[in-house]
Amino acid sequence: ALGLSGHMPAYPSEPELISALDRSDELVRLCTSGQLSFSDFCGSYDNFYWSHALDGHESDQAGLTVLAKYAARIAPHQTVAETILAKLCSDADAVKEPYRLAGRFGSIEAAARLKIVAAGLPRGEA
């Protein structure tokens, strides 16, 4: 959809990004508090950092400015993507030596690492 100026609107827009960050922060909190299973977390979270192109590869200059403004809020989700979800394997494979040697791990280790990320998230509105 074209914006009023005839240009594509900035991606991401600031309200969209804030909403997506709030939702994803909450999913991390729900999973680490035991209210959401790790499997359900993965399905709902949808590898947020990459699915929302938070590395900026789909952004125009205005979008990059928005991403830069919220870099501190985005950083934990980059950590989830690169150090947790990128190394996740099935629980059955997680016990196999080649997977362990390659730095892969299953859902139990992933959930433990997610708790470390959750501890650094901004406090939600309680």
User: What is the per-residue pLDDT across 63-88, written as a single tens digit (0 to 9) for each?
Assistant: 999 999 999 999 999 999 999 999 99
In a domain, 81, yes or no: yes
Which pLDDT score, from 0 to 100, does residue 10 have? 65
- Residue 102 belongs to a domain: yes
Confidence bin at 2 (pLDDT 50/70/90): very low
Task: Kindly state whether residue 66 falls inside one of the protein's structural domains.
Answer: yes
- Reply yes or no on whether the pLDDT at 60 is more than 60: yes
> Is 4 part of any domain?
no
For residue 11, the model assigns a pLDDT of: 73
Measured N-to-C along each axis, helices 14-32 and 71-79 cross at an angle, to the nearest 10 degrees, of 40
Do the domain assignments include residue 9?
Answer: no
Look up the domain containing 45 and give its range: 14-119
- Cα-based distances in Å from 68 to 65, 93, 98, 102, 105: 5, 38, 38, 33, 31
Q: What is the pLDDT of residue 123?
A: 75
Averaged pLDDT for residues 53-63: 92
Task: Look at the chain and report how many structural domains it folds into.
Answer: 1
Residue 3 vs residues 6, 56, 65: alpha-carbon distances, Å: 5, 20, 18
Among 7-16, 27-36, 96-105, 114-123, the range scoring the smallest mean pLDDT is: 7-16
- Whether 3 maps to a domain, the answer reads no
Q: Looking at the whole model, is its pTM more than 0.85?
A: yes
Give pLDDT, residue 12: 81
Residue 8: its pLDDT value, please? Answer: 54
Is 2 within a domain?
no
